[in-house]
Amino acid sequence: MIKGFKAPGRINIIGEHTDYNDGYVLPAAIDKYVSLSIERTEGDTIHLNSVGKEALSFSETRIERSGNWGDYVKGIFWVLKRERDMFFGGMKIQITSTVPEGAGLSSSAALEVATITALNSFCNLGLTESQRYLMAQKAENEFVGVNCGIMDQFASVMGKKNHAVFLDTATMEYEYLPLELGEYSMVIFDSKVHHALSSGGYNARREEAANALKLLGKRSYRDVSMPDLFVNREKLGDLYYRRAMHVVSENMRVLEAKRILSNSNFENLGRLLIQSHESLAHDYEVSCEEVDFLVDVLRELNGVSGARIIGGGFGGSVLALCESSETDNVREEVTRRYEQKFGIILDSYTVNPSDGAGEDLLLEID
Ligand code: GLA
């Protein structure tokens, strides 16, 4: 029998670019998954097959970055060898995925988490949930070379069906919040643009936020209040002021969203999404023309309570909160106007909050 494992992508309701700034985030795992199964083979070569991609293989005695999709899998082997001194032996790894790539839905974290979850079981590693998401983040930071925060790997491991997870990244304390959407749906609009700037731009924003913090003379954004920003406006200069303003105001919005969610008031939640988008576009500057256009169109349409860019930015997707009865009309209208403006046919779909990584029953083969 081959046992399969799957790990979900994620959306983030609110709390963008706060996870590496000691802030709050409110993600949810979604019903789009990377599925993975492992079979033992002779020798010490690890073979990777992913549907629709070129097959790869590597030796566990020499794990090196190759700048392609396999790095997310290799990174997990690399971390486990370093931290657990593992010898894995030959393996054949089969992967399929329904998480769109470059869409801001964390397909890379889902692949890392699916890999570590499968290896945890296959090699009886006994890793806890937190060990799994922390190691997956290390693979991304230290092997792949993207200086991401913890949100994506955390959400992919810890997600819970029909819930969002409120996480305080400063303490790693978390709380599940029921996400009972009632007559609303969460709809993703994938702009299909992915600006080359993304990982460079991401790392640059991280640095700018850290520099602003230094200028404020604080050790953590948790110690920075709105009045601190006003008082230090001149010292910060325009750019650092706006970067810090995003972090501080976005944290306030996450706390507000948490309160709003407990009353399932999706009209008010929508308004917060719009404010978050404005802040990401103008203060943190991680949006782009195509995504701004999508948000502008969505804001005008009947049945949409709010929308914003999600994920690292510089392209990717918009999350919209939409009355379910209007979803088809909204998708049609946005698709039409986006194609008219940019000549790009976007993808759109509804997503549902789902459980985190685990066994994938569909892959169990006798
Ligand atoms: C990417 C990173 C996350 C987070 C978001 C922005 O998805 O992987 O850690 O920083 O961007 O909120």
Burial of 68 (0-12, 13-18, 19+ CB in 10 A): exposed
- The dihedral sign for the CA sequence 203, 209, 215, 219: negative
pLDDT at res. 85: 87
Q: Which residues, including other chains, have CB under 8 Å from residue 146's CB and lie 6 or more apart?
A: 108, 140, 199, 202, 203
Count structural domains, the chain. 2
238 and 307 belong to one structural domain: yes
What is the atom index within ligand 1 of the atom nearest the CA of 151? 9
Catalytic annotation present for 283: no
The answer to whether residues 111 and 133 belong to one domain is yes
Residues 275 and 190 in one domain: yes
**Ligand 1 centroid – CA 107 distance (Å):** 12
Are 277 and 316 in a shared domain? Answer: yes
| Same domain flag for 132 and 24 | yes
Same domain, 261 and 169: no
Instruction: Compute, in angstroms, the gap from residue 2 CA to the centroid of ligand 1.
Output: 33
CATH number of the domain at 194, please: 3.30.70.890
By alpha-carbon position, which residue is closest to atom 1 of ligand 1?
312
Does residue 363 surpass a pLDDT of 70? no
Long-range (24+ apart) CB contacts under 8 A made by 334-340 are 334/189, 334/294, 334/297, 334/298, 334/301, 337/297, 338/189, 338/191, 338/290, 338/293, 338/294, 338/297
Let me know whether 32 and 163 are in one domain.
Answer: yes
Q: Per residue in 254-310, pLDDT tens?
A: 999 999 998 888 899 999 999 999 999 999 999 999 999 999 999 999 999 999 999
| Mean model confidence pLDDT for the chain | 95
**Is there a contact between 60 and 200 (Cβ–Cβ < 8 Å)?**
no
Ligand 1 atom with minimal separation from the 104 CA? 7
In this model, does residue 68 exceed pLDDT 80? yes
Domain range for 346: 184-351
Beta bridge partner(s), residue 308: 319
Same domain, 235 and 126: no
- CA-106 nearest atom, ligand 1: 7
Q: Which of 11, 14, 17 to mutate to test the pocket of ligand 1 (most atoms within 8 A of CB)?
A: 17
170 and 189 part of one domain: no
pLDDT digit string, tens, across residues 215-255: 999 999 999 999 999 999 999 999 999 999 999 999 999 99
CATH number at residue 62: 3.30.230.10
User: One of 19, 71, 152, 360 is an active-site residue; which one?
Assistant: 152
**Ligand 1: residue whose CA is nearest its atom 2:** 148
The half-sphere exposure of 48 on its side-chain side, counting CA atoms within 13 A, is 20
